[in-house]
Amino acid sequence: MPQLKSRKIAILGYRSVGKSSLTIQFVEGQFVDAYDPTIENTFTKMISVNGQDYHLQLVDTAGQDEYSIFPQTYSIDINGYILIYSVTSHKSFEVVKVIHEKLLDMVGNIQVPIMLVGNKKDLHMERVISCEEGKALAESWNAAFMESSAKENQTAVEVFKRTIVEMEKMEGGAPQGRTSCSVM
């Protein structure tokens, strides 16, 4: 019987990109439309990936902007990061690049598992960031990439499972996943 593994994931991104919505959709299976801006919340969830059970601790952070100080707590005991932008916001896409830079400054030159997520893909008419742009950014970081819609619960679970796969890959565990773009 494999040992239960504990993993801690920080969810980072600009305000109102859907960090809490995606996290709550994953943890509770529901979409929260109106949500007070997060100060910081921690959620826990048990999940099984590739036959291995994980106890996840998810740190849902307050929205950052390009001037936010990157708190050191976001680099301590964190096993992986989910960086989220909204496909409907150029600003959130620019800010996610700054957050990534600050994250690397904080953790130093070690490889950290990062999952870049373009959220709100259900808002077709408002889309300003293409799937290809998101994918190219993720590739430049050597990170995994997915688009999601917390509202339609299309990929909330997959985002977190994929993040676990990325963490295991860096620890020498799991097989490589594939990056895919799909526009519904």
List C-alpha distances in Å: 96 to 13, 51, 64, 180.
Answer: 6, 32, 9, 20
Q: Which domains does the chain have, with CATH numbers?
A: 5-170 (3.40.50.300)
Local confidence band at 181 (pLDDT 50, 70, 90 cut-offs)? low
> Mind listing the pLDDT tens digit for each residue in 149-167?
998 876 889 999 999 999 9
Helix/strand/coil for 64 = coil
pLDDT digits (tens, 9 = 90+) for 81-137: 999 999 999 999 999 999 999 999 888 767 889 999 999 999 999 999 999 999 999
Report the pLDDT value the prediction gives residue 2, as an integer from 0 to 100: 66
**In the chain, pLDDT over 70 holds for what percent of residues?**
89
Residues contacting residue 14 through CB under 8 Å, at least 6 positions apart? 63, 64, 65, 85, 86, 89, 91, 92, 95, 96, 99
Q: Which residues pair with 131 in a beta bridge?
A: none
